[in-house]
Amino acid sequence: MNDLISVIVPVYNTEKYLNRCVDSILCQTYSNLELILVNDGSTDNSLDICNQYKAKDNRVKVIDKENGGLSSARNAGLDVATGDYIAFCDSDDYLPNDAYESLIKAISTTDGAIANGMYVRASESGELTKSKVIHEKDEDIPPKDFLKELLMHVGDVSMCTKLIPRNLIGDLRFPEGILNEDLVFMVNLLKKVTIIKFVGRLCYYYFVRQNSISSKYGKAFEDMQKNSLWLLELVKNDYPTLKKYAIRFAAYQNMAYLLVLPKELRNKGNQAYRSAKIFLRKNIFKCIFNKYLRIKEKVIILGLFLFPNIMAEKYQKKHR
């Protein structure tokens, strides 16, 4: 087994963590790698670090581009990748040394398969938190079942825990200008996948920086709301038996969006707010009687349908 793996790493102002990330990739027990470091307009010393690695290891390629965001950087890497398989890694994360060996062994003899490894969250203090995964051993999952897991918020949507044959990706690219891009890419990729092979081994360390998680409103909430409605329509057309799961997913995402939306954006001029309200109006009974939503979630959704301002202000006051 000597297939080439292209590892694409978008880099933006991560000089503090970049060495750890790159070293963990170059030290893999599976050494036939092409490491593509995409400097996405960094203003620190990240580009210099990338070029230092390029000078001492001929497996390293460096792309230097204007800042365009994560999707833009990944797409730039995909455009030059020559590997038989594609992997992604964020520049502040890192890998155990046998990650790619474990992943490629799982799919090298199966056409149309992608591999999915386990991950843990690593804090700045070095504390590791096990991910809430439902596949902790080697297991094969059909694409439709995997989509159902995503719709139930129990599936692993991250592209960084996966190894994908390049011929499956083809001309598929990440949507630029939005967050929550992994979901859109993954759902579109599933149309080409025959099986997802889960590998019951740790394959990725997801680094959580201090204060990196927030319940405050941001573009991510708006993009998740929009993506949920896009996904609902896709499921209706392509996976109609999963419709109740998709309604559950859209209900949850729209609920989260409406709860954190600032008062000044709760108006008819805000298209996302308007579409969230329309979704609730059209689907309120489907939400209330959806067995995949918890009672607490149904109560909040009903409250947002009847008293959106009061529910949002109460939630924001509690989480201020």
Task: Render pLDDT for 251-264 as a digit per residue (tens, 0 to 9).
Answer: 999 999 999 999 99
Asked if residue 235 and residue 283 are part of one domain, the reply reads yes
State which of 153, 179, 208 marks the end of a domain.
208
Please give the average per-residue pLDDT across 215-226, as a whole number.
87
Identify the DSSP state of 94.
B
Q: Which pLDDT band holds residue 125 (cuts at 50, 70, 90)? A: confident
Identify whether 137 is part of a domain.
yes
CA angle (243 as vertex; 257, 298 as ends), nearest 5: 45
Give a yes or no: residue 214 inside a domain: no
State mean pLDDT over 184-211.
93
Q: What was the pLDDT predicted at 129? A: 84
Domain match, 83 and 231 both: no
Q: What is the pLDDT, as a whole number, of residue 211?
A: 54
- pLDDT band, very low/low/confident/very high, at 132 (cuts 50, 70, 90): confident
158 and 263: one domain? Answer: no
Share of the chain above pLDDT 90, in %: 88
| One domain, residues 129 and 259 | no
303 assigned to some structural domain? yes
Does the pLDDT of residue 155 top 60, yes or no? yes
Mean pLDDT, residues 95-116 taken together: 96
- Here the CATH number for the domain that contains residue 125 is 3.90.550.10
List the end-to-end C-alpha distance of the chain, in Å, as a whole number: 54
Please spell the DSSP secondary structure of 165-182, one letter per residue. EHHHHTT--PPTT-S-HH
pLDDT range class, residue 199, cuts 50, 70, 90: very high
Tell whether the model's pLDDT for residue 20 goes beyond 60: yes
Q: Where a domain ends, among 208, 232, 255?
A: 208
238 and 130, same domain (yes or no): no
Predicted local confidence at residue 213, as pLDDT = 44
User: How many distinct structural domains can be found in the chain?
Assistant: 2
d(CA 43, CA 210): 21
Tell whether 116 and 77 lie within a shared domain: yes
Same domain flag for 178 and 266: no
In this prediction, residue 214 carries a pLDDT of: 52
Residues 191 and 312 both lie in one domain: no
Do 110 and 170 reside in the same domain of the chain? yes
Residue 216: pLDDT band with limits 50, 70, 90:
confident
What ranges in 57-204 are assigned the alpha helix state H? 70-80, 99-107, 143-151, 166-169, 181-190
pLDDT, average across residues 297-309:
96
User: Which range marks the domain in which residue 132 is found?
Assistant: 5-208
Q: How far apart are CA 24 and CA 18, in angstroms?
A: 10
Residues 224 and 204 in one domain: no
Mean pLDDT to the nearest integer, 19-28: 98
Domain boundary among 153, 182, 208: 208
Q: Predicted confidence band at 179 (pLDDT cuts at 50, 70, 90)?
A: confident
State whether 202 and 224 are in the same domain.
no
pTM: 0.94
Is residue 224 within 8 A of residue 256, CB to CB? The reply is: yes
* % of the chain residues with pLDDT over 70: 98
Question: Does residue 213 belong to any structural domain of this protein?
Answer: no
- 244 vs 211, which has greater pLDDT? 244
282 pLDDT more than 60: yes
The pLDDT score that the predictor gives to residue 285 is 97
Average pLDDT over the chain reads 94
Same domain, 66 and 117: yes
* Residue 127 clears pLDDT 90, i.e. is over it: no
